[in-house]
């Protein structure tokens, strides 16, 4: 069982991480963040608020398609970054947001580690 700060510390230790945050997609609030000089806490708060809209849009599309499934993860691939949005399965409304440098990260390992962190998180 882990709290928010411990999970953010573990996620920040993933190689290539620029910043990590936990957000509430129902309110758009950032519940905690750990940034770098390249990705400040302020930028992470903006990212959490913006990605709340991404999560809500994807949920609406899933509903329109009559998909009886839950979203686990949303990945956004940019030319210099990967952005991972990992919903917390056992706490409705919460998600992890992880920004990675493409040149310094391994996407498969980052996804695996973030999944492990999400599964161990307790609120």
Q: What angle do CA 96, 1, 104 make, to 5 degrees?
A: 40
Give how many domains the chain has, as a whole number: 1
Length of the chain: 123
Q: Are strands 94-101 and 81-87 parallel, antiparallel or unpaired?
A: antiparallel
Query: What confidence score (pLDDT) does residue 123 get?
Result: 77
Using DSSP's 3-state secondary structure scheme, residue 54 falls into helix
Which CATH number covers residue 13?
3.30.450.30
Residue 123 lies in a domain: no
Give me the pLDDT at residue 122, please.
84
User: What are the residue ranges in the chain where pLDDT is below 50?
Assistant: 1
Domain that holds residue 103: 4-118
- Residue 82's closest CA among 121, 117, 108? 108
State how far the Cα of 83 lies from the Cα of 103, in Å rounded to an integer. 13
| The pTM of the whole model exceeds 0.85 | yes
Q: Specify if 66 maps to a domain.
A: yes
């Amino acid at each position: 069982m882990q709290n928010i700060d411990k999970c953010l510390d573990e996620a920040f230790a993933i190689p290539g991480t620029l910043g990590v945050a936990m957000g509430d997609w129902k309110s758009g609030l950032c519940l905690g963040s750990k940034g770098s000089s390249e990705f400040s806490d302020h930028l992470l708060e903006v990212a959490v608020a913006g990605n709340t809209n991404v999560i809500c849009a994807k949920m609406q599309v899933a509903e329109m398609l009559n998909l009886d499934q839950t979203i686990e993860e949303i990945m956004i691939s940019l030319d210099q970054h990967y952005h991972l949005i990992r919903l917390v399965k056992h706490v409705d409304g919460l998600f992890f947001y992880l920004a990675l440098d493409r040149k310094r990260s391994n996407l498969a390992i980052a996804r695996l580690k973030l999944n492990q962190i999400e599964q161990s998180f307790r609120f």
